[in-house]
């Protein structure tokens, strides 16, 4: 049996689901794309090639292997994008919560059925269809659960809005002993540089007391100030709009000391090393063209 255990973003990782880029399908039509960054690259003819994405995920797997992390990969569905396993389910404490994901992506959960079979059924949580959340919007930090959401009346029309207030309230009820704080995110269906697809696209803790943040991702400056007060300005790396667009905050922690980051994130990687982190740099720029990066590709199951 898999004894699920995840309380934060940075404790020593023991077991994780890493997505796959194998047989990820043809370049989508514009109307099939889920986010403005993918649309941008479809239009420009720069949409990532499968071979490049497979190579990037192999590099990620090698780093996880180096740190003796048990890695599960989804079963391959032909011509289907299965890179972003963070979206389909996520673990809080000893519960695996299955997301109500975009309808076109529902098969992704079936591809990890063999993993779910190793989990106590009492620890798997499903919800009704009107309750929406994706793992990229859920960030754990000690006694806190931070959740990205979108409160606009036009929620149903915003394809980049993935977590609603019903989802936030569901998590609050499930974990009454936690401080659940939601953040209203800036969304755009059409302009990638003005779209915080998930909370982890504009904020993520690293180590024990540090964080990466993009102030412009928050609709309400009070939400940004809340995090600054919690972490301390001196402990935060502030990204520019362009760095947010490149997904600087979507790195992935293997432990409080080890962060996997994209090799081109020079300014961030230098800062992380100055703070004492070991930075494992890998190529991930092709995958980032789909508005997701390292954290998006993972679903941690067990951390110490």
Q: Is 301 helix (H, G, I), strand (E, B) or coil?
A: strand
The whole-angstrom separation of Cα 135 and Cα 58 is 22
User: CB pairs under 8 A, 24+ apart, for 110-115?
Assistant: 110/75, 110/77, 111/74, 111/75, 111/76, 111/77, 111/82, 112/17, 112/72, 112/74, 112/75, 112/85, 112/88, 113/75, 114/75, 115/2, 115/17, 115/72, 115/301
Please report where in the chains the tokens 């309808």 appear, as a residue: 103
Q: How many C-beta atoms lie closer than 10 Å to residue 119's C-beta? A: 18
* pLDDT tens, residue by residue, 168-208: 999 999 999 999 999 999 877 677 777 778 999 999 999 99
Answer whether residue 257 shows pLDDT above 80. Answer: yes
Parallel, antiparallel, or unpaired: how do β-strands 124-125 and 95-98 relate? Answer: parallel
- Whole-number percent of the chain with pLDDT over 90: 75
Q: What is the pLDDT of residue 154?
A: 76
Cβ(47)–Cβ(38) below 8 Å: yes
Which is nearest to 16 in space by CA: 58, 50, 61? Answer: 61
The whole-angstrom separation of Cα 178 and Cα 140 is 10
Q: Where are the domains of the chain?
A: 13-303
The pLDDT mean for the chain works out to 93
Calculate mean pLDDT across residues 260-274.
Answer: 98
Q: What is the pLDDT of residue 102?
A: 65
Calculate mean pLDDT across residues 99-116.
Answer: 84
Please report where in the chains the tokens 């269906």 appear, as a residue: 189
Fold of 13-303: 3.75.10
pLDDT grade for 160, boundaries at 50, 70 and 90: low
Answer whether residue 106 shows pLDDT above 80. Answer: no
Cβ(135)–Cβ(299) below 8 Å: yes
Highest mean pLDDT out of 31-35, 48-52, 62-66, 146-150 = 62-66
Calculate mean pLDDT across residues 241-257.
Answer: 96
* pLDDT tens, residue by residue, 69-79: 999 999 999 99
* pLDDT tens, residue by residue, 117-154: 999 999 999 999 899 999 999 999 999 999 999 887 77
Q: What is the pLDDT of residue 292?
A: 87
Task: Give how far Cα 220 sits from Cα of 65, 170, 217, 223, Å.
Answer: 40, 22, 9, 6
The whole-angstrom separation of Cα 206 and Cα 211 is 5
Its pTM stands at 0.94
């Amino acid at each position: 049996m898999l004894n699920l255990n995840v309380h934060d973003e940075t404790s020593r990782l023991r077991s994780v689901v890493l997505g796959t880029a194998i047989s990820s399908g043809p370049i989508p039509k514009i109307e099939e794309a889920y986010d403005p960054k993918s649309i941008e690259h479809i239009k420009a003819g720069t949409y990532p090639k499968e071979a490049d994405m497979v190579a990037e995920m192999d590099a990620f797997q090698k780093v996880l292997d180096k740190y003796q992390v048990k890695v599960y990969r989804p079963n391959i569905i032909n011509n289907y994008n299965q890179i972003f396993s963070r979206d389909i389910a996520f673990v809080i404490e000893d519960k695996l919560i299955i997301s109500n994901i975009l309808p076109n992506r529902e098969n992704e959960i079936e591809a990890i059925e063999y993993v779910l079979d190793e989990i106590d059924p009492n620890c798997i949580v499903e919800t009704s269809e009107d309750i929406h959340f994706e793992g990229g919007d859920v960030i754990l930090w000690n006694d806190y659960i931070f959740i990205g959401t979108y409160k606009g009346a036009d929620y149903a029309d915003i394809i980049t809005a993935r977590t609603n207030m019903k989802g936030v309230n569901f998590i609050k009820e499930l974990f009454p002993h936690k401080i659940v704080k939601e953040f209203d995110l800036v969304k755009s269906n059409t302009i990638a540089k003005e779209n915080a697809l998930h909370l982890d696209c504009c904020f993520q803790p690293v180590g024990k007391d540090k964080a990466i943040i993009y102030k412009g991702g928050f609709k309400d400056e009070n939400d940004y100030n809340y995090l600054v007060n919690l972490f301390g300005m001196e402990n935060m790396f502030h990204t520019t709009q362009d760095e947010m667009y490149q997904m600087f905050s979507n790195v992935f922690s293997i432990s409080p000391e080890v962060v996997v980051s994209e090799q081109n994130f020079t300014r961030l990687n230098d800062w992380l090393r100055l703070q004492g982190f070991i930075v494992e740099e890998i190529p991930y720029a092709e995958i980032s063209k789909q508005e997701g990066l390292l954290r998006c590709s993972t679903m941690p199951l067990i951390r110490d």
